[in-house]
Chain A
Amino acid sequence: MTKSRQIKDFIAKLLIYLCSAFSVCLLVGIICYVFVKGIRTVNWSFLTSVTSVLKGTVGIAGNIVNTLIIILITMIIAAPIGIGSAIYLNEYAKPGKLVTLIEYATETLSGIPSILFGLFGMMFFGEKLGLGYSLLTGSLTLILMVLPLITRNTQEALKTVPDSYRNGAIGLGSGKWHMIRTILIPSAMPGIITGVILAIGRIVGESAALLFTAGSAKLLPKGLSGLLQKPLQSGGTLTIQMYLSATSEGDFSTAFGIAVVLLIIVLLINLGTKLLTARFDVNRKD
């Protein structure tokens, strides 16, 4: 090997190692920085009270409740539709124009930036349907956004179920729907749940699609009737509040406090999907 070749190889290797180290260092840097800056803000009262000048409290309880409500409404609607869509594509559809069209549409949906979902949600759900700035408008918008994620993950999960399961059930005289309900969905469950968890992660981290649909109110709903009415009222999620704290309100301690909470949620979600995938693999071996 010539000398110049050796030098070139060495430089290439060095660059490869440096670039790979960059991602790891970046992640560690981000996590450390956010925790150092924000961990002092996070305590019990930060999580359970609402920011109020009168009471002198700083807290994000209202935003946590808003985030939970949005996750709940979005997933109640998006999960069945996404799973149903995957079942159609995998189990019923025969290759053809309709399937190509559906797959292209799903692809397109997953490529649309969240700010455009927000714009559409504001125009259609907010103004045309008259829902205004409300958690419901935000949820309806997010449904469109997370649908491709759930569909694709469910499809992947369904593909891993061996055909012998299907043939066996049908051969024993089961109807197709019965087979799907009792054999297919339970076998694909870990994969489906992974998709749902990923979708929840996406919702927790979303901000641009919610700014002009769900609004930014941060008060806690009062009592059960307040909670029931909340979906029709404006409410800011954790990310929205963080954005406002860091920009217009200039309250960086709250912003970093929320960042800590968000990072913990992201880490937990990541861990959860990892564990599920690991279990899924074990199941596939037998």
Chain B
Amino acid sequence: MKKKAIIEITAKCIFTLCAVLAIFAVCSITIYMFIKGTPTFHRVGVLDLLFGTKWAPTAENPSYGILYIILSSIVGTAAAVLVGVPIGLLTAVFLSEMAEKRIGGIVRGAVELLAAIPSVIYGLIGMMVLNPLMYQMEKALYKDNPAHQFTGGANMLSAIIVLAIMILPTVISISTSSLQAVPQILRSASLGLGATKMQTIFKVVIPAAKSGILTGVVLGIGRALGEAMAINMVAGGAVNIPLPFNSVRTLTTQIVSEMGYAQGLHRQVLFSVGLVLYIFIMIVNFILLKARRKGVGEA
């Protein structure tokens, strides 16, 4: 009997340990990000670092301004969400409200597969298809403008398109399930009052599923902010103001492209870039947590 009790206690302890590991992991990642990321704020100066516009880490008088990098991340993410969310939401409406079983199954399967495709493949296709297209547009638009630096098509716009596509699966799947969770009785009531199906969808069902859809949008924002490889392949390699036809660096691509060779202070500044990204992601996570809690409260 005693032996059995010991086994039971051991099992419980081991399972608890496994579960607590997640807390431990999050804590150590957070601590490390701050330990490695904050010293440069002191050495470069908070204002010079966060609001400096000149990034020249290997110059004789190096300067480490990451304002444009931060802005590129924000603008890229915002634009991708603006493009991706409407498309995703309408697809979710189709899946939840209109699709027959077979066609719905095909669309759903396609969305699942899109989510599973590795980001480097999106990057590769972006490089081969999107960038040449962008270059054509760029040549047509800026042919009389000698001040423009030609990018060969690797620009902000390509990054936005790739990001918008990459957040689609997240937005679609979360929105679909929250639309499906809207009680049937609301639809029947609206249709019974003489509203058309489209009026019902846009005036009743979507507003009722609002908080779930917002969760999907926030998840999409997190995904877009954190995407690194695909963007690195299509967005070019210069730190620039985030204009559509400028080659840009985001927080993630800055790390990907320079961590390999950076030394000394330059390397530490890249850790600070990581810290800024980490703080952005924590804000997104916090909003998500609030939204989830609220969603649970409503249900």
Contacts and interface: CB of A to CB of B under 8 A. Distances in A.
Determine if chain A interacts with chain B. yes
Interface of A: 1, 5, 8-9, 12-13, 15-20, 22-24, 26-28, 30, 33-34, 37, 80-85, 87-89, 91-93, 98, 101-102, 104-109, 111-117, 119-120, 122-124, 144, 147-148, 151, 175-177, 180, 201, 204-208, 211-212, 239, 242-243, 246-247, 252, 255-256, 259, 262-263, 266-267, 269-270
Interface of B: 4, 7-8, 11-12, 14-23, 25-26, 28-29, 32-33, 36, 86-88, 90-91, 93-95, 98-99, 106-107, 109-114, 116-121, 123-125, 127-129, 165, 168, 172, 196-199, 201-202, 222, 225-229, 232-233, 252, 255-256, 259-260, 271, 274, 277-278, 281-282, 284-285, 288-289
A113 B252 contact: yes
Contacts of A9: 196-199
A176 B11 contact: yes
B116 A208 contact: no
Contacts of A22: 87, 91
B233 A247 contact: yes
Interface centre among B87, B172, B225, B229 (most CB of A within 10 A): B229
Chain B interface, >50% SS class: helix
A208 to B, nearest CB: 4
Given A5-B196, A111-B288, A148-B22, A120 B91 contact: no
B11 A180 contact: yes
Contact of A27 (B32, B110, B120, B228): B110
B21 A147 contact: yes
Contacts of A98: 20
A4 to B, nearest CB: 12
Interface centre among B11, B201, B233 (most CB of A within 10 A): B11
Given A13-B198, A204-B118, A212-B260, A246 B124 contact: yes
Contact of B18 (A18, A88, A115, A205): A88
A259 B124 contact: yes
A105 B277 contact: no
Contacts of A266: 113, 116-118
B14 A243 contact: no
A84 B114 contact: no
Given A19-B91, A262-B121, A109 B25 contact: yes
